[in-house]
Amino acid sequence: MNKKLLALLVIAPLLISCSGKKSSQYHEEWVKDTNGFDILMGQFAHNIENIWGINEVLIAGPKDYVKYSDNYYTRSHINFESGNITVETISGTDPMASLRQAIVTTLLIGDDPGNVDLYSDANDIVISKEPLLYGQVLDNTGQPIRWQGRAGNFADYLLQNKLQRRVSGLHVIYSVTIPMVPNHLDKRAHKYLPMVRKAAEQYGVDASLILAIMQTESSFNPYAVSHSDALGLMQVVQHTAGVDVFRMKGKWGKPSRSYLLDPENNIDAGTAYLSLLQKSYLGGIQDPLSRRYAVITAYNGGAGSVLRVFSSDKDRAFNTINSMSPSQVYNTLTTQHPSAESRRYLYKVSTAQRSYHRY
């Protein structure tokens, strides 16, 4: 990770509320919380840099599970997009023992991230009856890994046959890389399908759209976090979408981190927010396909920014959109939206959604 990215971690951008307007009622509170998170992330990145070196800083992200252990000298990295797991250590005492323990723990991690602190080296991983990676990783005999005995045997095989060694700065880094099965993404999507269908029916949102957003946001990583503290499978931000959804449900305040890191709560909140965009913030768009393109873009950058692409006046923006064909709306949003990320986001989600229509 370079210094520019480290700076982004320390000075995360202030967010605009999900309706595209600044929320005066909650603004002071969430700025305070966001600043606190920025400080935490900055201190954490600094600690990792001091131990591993400037070129070896690795921190959890939306599609990357990164967990440190062994006084930060050992870490596990699951890239849910590429489907690769890397476990590595710079321990100078017993690196093989450190690697073995981390491999076993990583293979058996549960699918409930609520009690796991990704910003510490605490040994707080709970091994569940069906690990998060069950069926997504096969051992050297081609079997899925559910229990500690099989995980330990596979760890021993990896250390004997797949151990790698490299030098970075003053450190010798020992590592093993474990590939996930080719269809790992589909396996995770299928795991969350009952929750997605329940939310889709409750809020009137297409299941294929929910799945496409989950893939684009997190690659179905329930531990997903971002430098702006978006959380979980659908990357819901407590202070913006979280507040809007709680208000919609008649609740005061905002959801907690542990609430949003629960997969079912996260899918419910993300889908509820999609329904708000669909029926309220962007409900003035008449054509369902045009509205879907606007909703997708707004999920990334806010409804206000979508409307301002067409006019600074809200009513005029709706009239302009309603005078255009869906393909014209799509082309406008993918070429003229001020955020390059939002322009790409519409393309990514629309492309991904095509592969989930069977659901």
Q: Is 81 tagged catalytic?
A: no
Check: CB of residue 81 under 8 Å from CB of residue 63: yes
The active-site residue out of 28, 49, 88, 217 is: 217
Task: Report angle CA 182, 124, 232 to the nearest 5 degrees.
Answer: 50
Which contacts qualify for 240-245: CB closer than 8 Å, 24 or more apart?
A: 240/15, 240/16, 240/17, 240/18, 240/23, 240/30, 241/18, 241/269, 241/270, 241/273, 242/269, 243/17, 243/23, 243/26, 243/30, 244/17, 244/18, 244/19, 244/273, 244/276, 245/269, 245/272, 245/273, 245/276
CB-neighbour burial class of residue 257 (10 A; exposed 0-12, middle 13-18, buried 19+) = middle
Structure tokens at 287: 């054509």
In the sheet that holds 74-79, the strands lie side by side as 64-69, 74-79, 84-89, 171-179, 164-168
Q: Which residues, 6+ apart, have CB-to-CB distance to 56 below 8 Å?
A: 48, 168, 169, 171, 173
- Return the active site residues: 217
